């Protein structure tokens, strides 16, 4: 361990050489630390005082490497908008795998650090705006108790990058349980080594599902597939319950760990509508809100394909086992989603009609263009009469049924409302607030909007925030498109 608290044990480099390339961040002349996550630094066992400094800015820009750092770019492949592509970290460098005081292991990666062997035609750099977006939204999801990679720091580089316009450059320091993706396995089955995908599977099991490693091989890899299916069904249900839209659910953006990863044009819904999308590159709406569970299952099918010869020596039997595992996704997702929706509505004692009942509310919200977050929060506060939805045709009958459900329970309404307030956020990273924070930082060098928004989002279930953070956008504030910055 060094003065900064880095304590690396870089196991990824024990994999075959084809899985990574040596990489060194391209130095920058004027790194400036504009965001530092003190709480995360402490969790990682890092010396936050030493890193929240000019010297820390040099580390988080790649100008200076801590002792024992990995300095690699990882190889992977992926189905991007349904089409297969060989890929890799084109603008990211893994600093190393940090061992934490509690025995955890986390990748620490620089994103936007310059060209690597996988950059293709890209510059390997990133504008500051998308790096700040990932910081805001990944930390917001963490506060909402949704599994996610996290953001440790953001530096400006003092250099401009060219996209549609010249923009200030930025580098994000990202922390994840690992960067193993469905796309890493898609790469492995096409790599030179005959058993590379088996080596990778054993590595992933050791790192993320160690309870499986002692199983006989004819069970281990099948249970590995089941475990990843379970994790993703749970994760995507959590996205849907808060109105989060990932935006680019390519198979290389699905983590084996079950964490949300690779934030690009991600956004939260305001008005509830299943077909909502924001990503400027998702022209056909492949990754719109309502498609996320189906795309999750599609990506998992690509993952299952990479494991077939590990599941059983007979191809047809292997396919049957894989299909059985994949077929569980829909029921698992529906179970997770319905359980979460019951909590959002204060339904502690489950009823057979709860799914239809929740769907009835969602249909009313679509019909009357109700704000997703505000509607559930006002229900939680027993103040739904303040919403426009309360006065709309059909809502009164639904509301009466809801009251009856609450009254029939063997728990008090107060207990039901407390449960609701613990899962229905008062504040989310609303798009107009995120865009304002990014614009002020990118074009005016003012990071106060960014910092203020992050402080609010740390406490999403509290009501003592200024109304500007809680209210839906006015008509002129609505954001219709988001951009990934690549």
Tell me if 401 sits within 8 A of 407, measured CB to CB. Answer: no
Q: What is the DSSP string of 105-119?
A: EEEEEEESB---TT-
Query: CA–CA separation, 8 vs 144, rounded Å?
Result: 29
Buried b / exposed e along 376-415 (16+ C-beta atoms within 10 A): bbbbbeeebeebebbeeeebeeebeebeebbeeeeeeeee
What token pair was written down for 365? 């919200």
Cα dihedral sign, 355-359-361-362? positive
Question: In whole angstroms, what is the distance from residue 105 CA to residue 178 CA?
Answer: 8
Q: Left if phi > 0, otherwise alpha if psi is -120 to 50, otherwise beta: which for 473?
A: beta
Name every residue whose Cβ is closer than 8 Å to that of residue 454 and which is 6 or more positions away in sequence: 35, 135, 136, 139
- The residue annotated as part of the active site, out of 107, 252, 270, 282, is 252
Q: Is 85 within 8 Å of 78 (Cβ atoms)? A: yes
**Would residue 252 show up in a list of annotated catalytic residues for this protein?**
yes
Strands (E), 59-215: 72-80, 83-88, 92-99, 105-111, 150-162, 166-176
Catalytic residues: 252
């Amino acid at each position: 361990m060094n003065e900064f608290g880095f304590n690396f044990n870089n196991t990824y480099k024990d994999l075959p050489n084809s899985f990574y390339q040596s990489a060194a961040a391209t130095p920058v002349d004027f790194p400036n630390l504009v965001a530092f996550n003190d709480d995360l630094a402490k969790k990682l066992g890092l010396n936050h005082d030493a890193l929240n400094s000019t010297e820390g800015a040099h580390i988080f820009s790649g100008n200076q490497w801590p002792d024992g750092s990995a300095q690699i770019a990882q190889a992977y492949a992926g189905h991007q908008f349904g089409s297969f592509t060989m890929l890799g970290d084109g603008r990211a460098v893994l600093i190393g795998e940090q061992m934490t005081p509690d025995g955890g292991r986390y990748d620490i990666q620089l994103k936007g650090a310059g060209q690597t062997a996988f950059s293709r035609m890209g510059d390997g750099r990133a504008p500051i705006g998308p790096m700040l977006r990932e910081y805001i939204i990944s930390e917001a999801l963490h506060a909402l108790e949704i599994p996610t990679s996290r953001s440790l720091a953001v530096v400006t580089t003092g250099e401009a990058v060219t996209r549609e316009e010249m923009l200030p450059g930025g580098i994000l320091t990202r922390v994840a349980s690992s960067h193993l993706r469905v796309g890493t396995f898609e790469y492995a089955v096409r790599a030179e080594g005959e058993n590379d995908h088996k080596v990778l599977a054993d590595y992933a099991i050791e790192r993320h599902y160690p309870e499986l490693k002692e199983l006989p091989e004819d069970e281990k890899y099948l249970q590995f597939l089941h475990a990843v299916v379970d994790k993703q069904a749970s994760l995507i249900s959590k996205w849907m319950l808060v109105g989060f839209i990932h935006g680019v659910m390519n198979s290389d953006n699905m983590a084996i760990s079950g964490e949300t990863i690779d934030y690009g044009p991600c956004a939260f819904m305001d008005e509830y509508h299943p077909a909502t999308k924001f990503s400027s590159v998702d022209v056909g709406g492949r990754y719109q809100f309502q498609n996320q569970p189906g795309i999750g299952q599609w990506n998992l099918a690509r993952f299952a394909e990479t494991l077939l010869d590990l599941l059983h020596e007979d191809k047809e039997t292997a396919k049957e086992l894989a299909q059985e595992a994949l077929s569980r996704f829909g029921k698992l997702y529906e179970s997770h989603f319905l359980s979460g929706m019951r909590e959002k509505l204060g339904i502690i004692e489950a009823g057979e009609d709860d799914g239809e009942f929740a769907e009835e509310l969602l249909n009313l919200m679509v019909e009357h263009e109700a704000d997703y977050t505000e509607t559930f929060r006002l229900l939680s506060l027993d103040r739904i009469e303040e919403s426009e939805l309360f006065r709309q045709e059909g809502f009164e009958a639904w509301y009466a049924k809801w009251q009856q459900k609450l009254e029939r329970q063997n728990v008090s309404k107060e207990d039901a409302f407390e449960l609701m307030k613990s899962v229905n956020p008062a504040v989310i990273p609303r798009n107009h607030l995120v865009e304002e924070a990014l614009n002020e930082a990118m074009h005016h060098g003012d990071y106060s909007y960014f910092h203020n928004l992050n402080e609010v989002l740390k406490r999403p279930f509290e009501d003592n925030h200024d109304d500007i953070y809680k209210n839906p956008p006015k008509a002129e504030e609505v954001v219709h498109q988001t951009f990934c910055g690549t």
